[in-house]
A and B are shown apart, each in its own frame.
Chain A
Amino acid sequence: MFDFSIVAKWFDNLLRVTCGLGDFWVILIECVLVGLAILLAYALLAIVLIFMERKVCAYFQCRIGPVRVGWWGTLQVLADVLKMLVKEIFVVDKADKLLYYLAPFLVIVASVGTFSFLPWNKGAEILDFNVGIFLVTAISSIGVVGIFIAGWASNNKYSVLSAMRGAVQMISYELSLGLCIISAVILTGTMQISGIVEAQTGPWQWLIFQGHIPAVLAFIVFCVAGNAEANRGPFDLAEAESELTAGYHTEYSGMGFGFYYLAEYLNLFVVSGLAATVFLGGWAPINIGIEGFDTVMNYIPGILWFLGKTFFVVFLLMWIRWTFPRLRVDQILNLEWKFLMPLSLIILVLMTICVAFNWTFTIV
């Protein structure tokens, strides 16, 4: 498997030795390059995801979706971005101006922050703290604050209602999300994201195989809770357009709305990416213990594995979104507190028993 850190080390060496730059400049250049890479990946993925959502939604509803702008509608999203950029940005007179402008920052920081933890390839994680997955859950909860502030600062009755609903839904589902991640941590024995992926290389070592029943259950709970965490249907209570017009971003115009749109799709990607990383092995190729098959699979680059798995989960979540009707607020809270929460506690105990007595699935 190709190790991307070779490239990073080579580049670092190039700057330090060949160009003879000091510590400060090397770090500055590297940070700027990393920032640019993040922005590029972020924008590209947003375009791909929004286009994908429109097409998937269209085909689920027996339409063909956007086809006019560009070949097969591929430039539709770019046209939308341009349109958003030339729209006026204005604030409601009675709004809390400071909080109103602060909210998009929090939402985007949460989504970019979690986005940069994803393992794209072996050695290609941007941030790789030893408390990685724990920090991801911590940063993602800033997004809740952003959404709540957005709704509250707008001083619009729909927005305030939506902010309350969004907050109560997102904080509730964070619990089972965290518990599912803890079950994965129990199995891998590390919180570092590269370590979690590393533990899943080898024959039948993806967590979903390794941890069999509890891991499969945890994967399902993680997908449901992640969907709710990304505020997407059937859990899109916060922007239930038939009752709350547009929810917390009703009063945001042009690019202000654009940020929430962007963050929604990137959050979807991050949740799917985390599900793929933690349960489906991230960049780890599928190995079944037969040498010829494994060698062929190992030739496929890690980034393709990662993107393939992630887009598989993305498609699954889009499928769910366009198939199920929206839940009511009491149904959402019942689902979390009376079903998913006890279930994830049971998963946790099951997983502990499996790991403690060495009942995990491994081929020696």
Chain B
Amino acid sequence: MYFTLFVAVLMTAAFLVIAAYSIAKLIGPRSYNKVKGEPFECGIPTHGSSWLPMNVGYYLFAILFLMFDVETVFLYPWAVAVKSFGPLALGTIGFFMMVLVFGLAYAWRKGALEWK
């Protein structure tokens, strides 16, 4: 049942965008000229494409995120069971948490967290 509702919710979202877009297309004005089709750039003609190589720092943080995010996802099933495990829960997750903490400490020490 919830899956049907979930699909309904997603379709609602899509419907909202399509409806608003089509109303705007219908009642909005339409005109075209060459200058209007240029990307905005402080009034002077644009120079070249914007799809340029980016600062490597962004990708570094993306990789770090990927690592930690996957590790936090693994924590969810454990989190649900902590109450029934009692003190044992701490022991079972200790090693895993250590990997997480050491990973962060290592990245920090290596200077991966510095923005250059």
Measuring CB to CB, which residues of chain A are less than 8 angstroms from any residue of chain B? 27, 31-32, 34-35, 38-39, 42, 84-95, 104-105, 108-109, 111-113, 116, 126-129, 134, 152, 154-160, 164, 167-168, 171-172, 174-175, 178-179, 182-183, 185-186, 189-191, 245, 250-251, 254-256, 258-259, 329-330, 333-334, 337-338, 341-342, 345, 348-349, 352-353, 355-357
Contact = CB atoms under 8 A, between A and B. Distances in A.
B20 A159 contact: no
Contacts of A91: 37
A95 B46 CA distance: 13
Interface of B: 2, 4-6, 8-17, 20-21, 23-25, 27-32, 36-41, 46, 49-52, 54-55, 57-58, 61-62, 64-65, 68-69, 72-73, 75-76, 79-90, 93, 97, 100-101, 104, 108, 113-115
B72 A175 contact: yes
Contact of A189 (B17, B83, B87): B83
B85 A356 contact: yes
A356 B82 contact: yes
Contacts of B97: 345, 348-349
B5 A31 contact: yes
B50 A156 contact: yes
B33 to A, nearest CB: 10
Contacts of A191: 76, 80
B72 A182 contact: yes
Nearest to B24: A255
Main secondary structure of the interface of A (DSSP, over half): helix
Most chain B Cβ neighbours within 10 Å, of A94, A129, A154 = A94
A88 B36 CA distance: 12
Contacts of B93: 352
Nearest to A27: B4
Contacts of B54: 160, 164
A113 B10 CA distance: 6
A156 B27 CA distance: 27
A123 to B, nearest CB: 14
B76 A333 contact: no
Contact of A108 (B17, B52, B88, B100): B17
Given A164-B54, A178-B72, A345-B100, 18 more contacts: A32-B8, A85-B27, A86-B28, A89-B24, A89-B25, A112-B12, A112-B13, A113-B13, A129-B2, A157-B39, A159-B39, A160-B51, A182-B72, A259-B17, A329-B115, A333-B61, A334-B115, A356-B86
